[in-house]
Amino acid sequence: MQNRYDRCPNCMQALPNGDDVCPYCGFGVNDYEEKSTCLKPFTVLQNKYMIGRVIGIGGFGITYIGWDLNLQTYIAIKEYFPGSLASRDTSTTVTQVLPNESSKEVYEKGLKRYVEEAQNLSKFYQLQGIVSVKDFFYENATGYIVMEYINGINLKEYLNNAGGKLPEQTVLTLMKPVFESLHTMHNSGLVHRDISPDNIMVDKDNKIKLIDFGSARGQSAETDKTYTVILKHGYAPAEQYYAKGNQGPWTDIYSLCATMYKMLTGQIPPNSVERMEQDEYVDPTKLGVAVSQRTEAVLRKGLAVKTSDRYQNIGQLLADLYGAGPIQSGQSGQPGQPMLGMVNQSAPVATPAAFAATNPTQNSMHLSIQPQQNPSDKKKNMGLIIGIISAAIVALIVGLVLILGGGDKDKDKDKKTEEPTETTTEATSQEPDTTEDGGNTTETTTEAGGSTSTGSYAYEWPTEVSENWLDYTIKINDTIYKLPMPYAEFKSAGWEADYLSTSIAANTYDYTTFELDGIEMQVLIVNYGLKEAPVEECFVAGFSIDPEWYDVRSSSVIELSGGIKWMTSTEADIKAAFGAPDYTYDGEYDGEAYVTMDYADDEIRSGMDLEINSDGVLECISIANVAVPEGLNVDASQIDTAPPEINSYYVAPTGPSTELFDHIVTINENEYYKLPVPVSEFTANGWTLDTATPDYISGNSYELTYIEKNGEKLNVKIDNFTSDAILPINAYVTSISVDTDYFALPISFPGGYSVGDHYDKFTEAFGDKEDYGFDDSYTSFIKLDYMCYDGDAVGGNGIGYLSIDIYADPETGAMNEIKYSLGMDSIEPQ
């Protein structure tokens, strides 16, 4: 049969004979199925980038193979296309992405984040361990990131082809460039947050690069407070499972060490949340793996459950792993015996059949960008991303998640001899602004309109399962539930929790595992109110049932709308009941096929995720509705106007900075502010908050905004360190950013440097400090950084870290941007 292309959409080579199978890469040309929402093959962007086949479709974008017509080389092209927020019908000549009318604001915020991903990566093009960004541009009313093409396979596949594990020498040689590149990245204030074998590529020359920076965020919260992260169980540390988890370089260190553990042993470390209750981590040597004492000690420290017990920066890890007593090339080592000599990075890496071609298409054209929500591993979705858009509250978007991992599923099994299942969870998290105890010691308040007291909310138990899944009804054994529902009503059905917070901060959430009659499931609990509330006054908004992680008695009866039943209904049954899903993904794990089907609620980002197992029946269910219940009284006018007690801790400075770490910023030579500083200190001096600043800040959260006076603008991060919602004027400023394009007044920082000064003045102040970051020259700017994660060393009083970012003109050396940020867990008396 004559194929419909004159080129191969996989490798872009011309097909003069109209072959069905490409003679160059083995791609089945006629088998390629065009998707109606994707750009057609051979579409040309910017008059120089030719689009090829779709590599993957995620929740936020589409990845294509591409060809640079000018440079005649392969590229990867990522297109911002959030399918739940926008549409495009390429059955016509239309190529523009059209945001849904009701989702334009959310679409624009996502596009901004997409641009940030490109900007984040562009800073590190010179690093050999990180994938390079070549270009970014706007077209078709959306954004595109052009990235280098990596001719290779991901580390997961590489390990599989190599027999599941690698010698210590090979692991250390492979991983060192990634460690070094991430060290540089961390020093610039960014954390990757999604490191695993899926996101590490190995090319044909046995060099590796870290990819997929869609989850990377600034350590000082330079982005929106809600971001999406994929949690891969075994690789994700415990702090990533919690909205208030204190994330930083130590987060990536855990994931890197988990990846090394997998490379050395062939096994994934136990789930970090499970380890909090019962740590069953096993040293590699106890598994019979030949690893030096030094490497084993580094892994043990890097994989510590508590963040404080881990390495705090990669520099420390590099010193221990590759420093004194380095490993000699070619030595395998015996368990418990130190290895001597130096790693020879130029030595060839042993790769027994690591690149053996089982599929010529995959091996020859495997791109560097893995679609964020289409991992080739176990699941696309083990969680349901949920965002609250509350009509009752002004422009509030709170990210919520239904986490499906972390339960003690097989309590009686010897997990030391059983490899944890490699799965993923999508999570929406918040930057670390509070202590990890969840704020449970805060005094709770039950004022009317402040906390959403469910006592005044009349919940009616449904008597039957609705035919419409958007009614969010589900039958579990003999009881029918409708989401959301008051926690007290849910509890009255007999459910018991393995662990439960006593209270939940204002306008945020928590989750935990509940059990009843042989069914364990994850339950999402939401506080819709503007005061911290006891959990008994909150709402249950979501359920997640997954027999692969939690015990579910086989005789259980679980029924969704439209007669869809657990372990009975098929993919065809589900489509007949609910129509085609918004997203679908066919995958394979351990030789068993599965299909995920995602149904999204058009209005509020709630929805339902279903998984069909290898037997063709429904096995996993996630369903959540986070809309504010109709009739629930959430009154923003009840927010306290008085400053919180912690604002009284502030002591205003009487003069300019005299010490390097006193955090006093001087503006216009007569205004002195000691960070962290209440916003009210600025307003007392005539500064005003941007009118777009939200009316309030949710509990244990923050906002990014700017303050202005007489046309002069400063970007600031304002934090709420309480568990109740507060007015922005009562928040604390923890970060100040000045840009000479928007600010012309004199402003100086501790150490005596100011915008307009030569950057030598900054290096003179910090260059001799042990934690001084790095400086690097680019074509259009010079970048300098200082990072210190020892809070006590930079002033204490609740400070977690100090971050300073500076941009300078490469010709004059003048500093034109300075950002001074404190990472805070709490406010303490000065």
Give the DSSP letter string of 737-797.
EEETTT--S-EE-TTS-BTTSBTHHHHHHHTT-TTEEEEEE-SS-EEEEEEE--GGGGT-T
Angstrom distance (rounded) from CA 478 to CA 740: 66
Mean pLDDT for 623-648 is 87
Residue found by looking up tokens 């679609």 in the block: 371
Q: Are 720 and 433 in contact (CB under 8 A)?
A: yes
pLDDT of residue 192: 83
pLDDT of residue 446: 29
Mean pLDDT for 246-260 is 91
Count of other CB atoms within 10 angstroms of residue 830: 12
Nearest to 700 by CA among 418, 439, 478: 439
Cα–Cα distances in Å, from 441 out to 20, 437, 480, 502, 532? 67, 8, 35, 9, 11
Structure tokens at 613: 């197992």
Asked whether the predicted pLDDT for residue 33 surpasses 80, the reply is no
> 462: which strand partners?
none
Residue found by looking up tokens 């990180």 in the block: 130
pLDDT of residue 83: 81
472 residue type, one letter = Y
Give just the sign of the alpha carbon dihedral 345, 347, 348, 349: negative
pLDDT of residue 32: 80
Asked whether the predicted pLDDT for residue 513 surpasses 80, the reply is yes
Mean pLDDT for 634-643 is 84
> What's the alpha-carbon Rg for the chain, to the nearest Å?
27
Asked whether the predicted pLDDT for residue 387 surpasses 70, the reply is no
167 residue type, one letter = P
Give the β-pairing of 558-559 and 539-545. Answer: unpaired
pLDDT of residue 700: 86
Angstrom distance (rounded) from CA 380 to CA 126: 32
Task: Determine which of 1-5, 311-315, 722-726 has the lowest per-residue pLDDT on average.
Answer: 1-5
pLDDT of residue 355: 34
Mean pLDDT for 463-483 is 96
pLDDT of residue 338: 24
Pick the CATH number of 152-353+360-364 from 3.40.50.620, 3.30.565.10, 1.10.510.10, 1.20.1600.10: 1.10.510.10
Phi then psi dihedrals of residue 735, to 5 deg: -150, 135
240 residue type, one letter = Q
In this prediction, residue 242 has a pLDDT band, given cuts at 50, 70 and 90, of low
- Average pLDDT across the chain, whole number: 76
Give 665's Cβ-side CA count (13 Å radius): 26
Give the β-pairing of 558-559 and 473-476. Answer: antiparallel
Name all contacts of 286-291 with Cβ < 8 Å and 24+ positions apart.
Answer: 288/335, 289/165, 289/264, 289/265, 289/335, 290/167, 290/168, 290/332, 290/333, 290/334, 290/335, 291/168, 291/264, 291/333, 291/335
Q: Are 447 and 531 in contact (CB under 8 A)?
A: yes
pLDDT of residue 219: 46
Asked whether the predicted pLDDT for residue 758 surpasses 90, the reply is yes
Residue found by looking up tokens 């009866």 in the block: 557
Q: Coil, helix or strand for 535?
A: helix
In this prediction, residue 482 has a pLDDT band, given cuts at 50, 70 and 90, of very high
How many residues in total does the chain contain? Answer: 830
Give the DSSP letter string of 150-169. Answer: --EEEHHHHHHHTTS---HH
Give just the sign of the alpha carbon dihedral 37, 121, 74, 584: negative
Asked whether the predicted pLDDT for residue 289 surpasses 50, the reply is yes
Please state whether the peptide bond connecting residue 484 to the residue before it is cis, i.e. omega within 30 degrees of 0. yes
Task: Determine which of 309-313, 398-402, 816-820 has the lowest per-residue pLDDT on average.
Answer: 398-402
Phi then psi dihedrals of residue 176, to 5 deg: -60, -45
Give the β-pairing of 607-612 and 592-600. Answer: antiparallel
Asked whether the predicted pLDDT for residue 337 surpasses 80, the reply is no
Nearest to 476 by CA among 424, 427, 540, 537: 540
**Range among 114-123, 176-185, 669-678 rated most confident:** 669-678
Buried b (16+ CB within 10 A) or exposed e, 428-453: bbbbbbbbbebbeebebbeeebbbbb
In this prediction, residue 361 has a pLDDT band, given cuts at 50, 70 and 90, of very low
Angstrom distance (rounded) from CA 424 to CA 551: 18
Residue found by looking up tokens 């100086």 in the block: 748
Element (H, E) at 491: helix 487-492
Asked whether the predicted pLDDT for residue 611 surpasses 80, the reply is yes
Alpha helices in 415-474 (DSSP H): none
pLDDT of residue 666: 98
Terminal Cα-to-Cα distance of the chain (whole angstroms): 79
Angstrom distance (rounded) from CA 167 to CA 565: 47
In this prediction, residue 676 has a pLDDT band, given cuts at 50, 70 and 90, of very high
34-148 in CATH: which number?
3.30.200.20
Percent of the chain with pLDDT over 90: 34
Phi then psi dihedrals of residue 117, to 5 deg: -60, -45
Mean pLDDT for 744-768 is 92
Give the DSSP letter string of 391-427. Answer: TTSTT-EEEEEE--------TTS-GGGSPPP--EEEE
Sequence-ordered list of residues with C-beta below 8 angstroms from that of 286, at least 6 positions apart, any chain: none
Choice between 242 and 279, residue whose per-residue pLDDT is larger: 279
Distance of CA 445 to the CA centre of its chain: 32
Count of other CB atoms within 10 angstroms of residue 297: 14
Sequence-ordered list of residues with C-beta below 8 angstroms from that of 592, at least 6 positions apart, any chain: 613, 614
Nearest to 451 by CA among 383, 388, 518, 531: 531
The vertex-306 CA angle with 305 and 312, nearest 5°, equals: 110
Element (H, E) at 177: helix 168-187
Question: Can you give the residue ranges of every domain in the chain?
Answer: 34-148, 152-353+360-364, 384-438+445-636, 639-824
pLDDT of residue 77: 92
Count of other CB atoms within 10 angstroms of residue 547: 18
Q: Are 765 and 753 in contact (CB under 8 A)?
A: yes
pLDDT of residue 218: 52
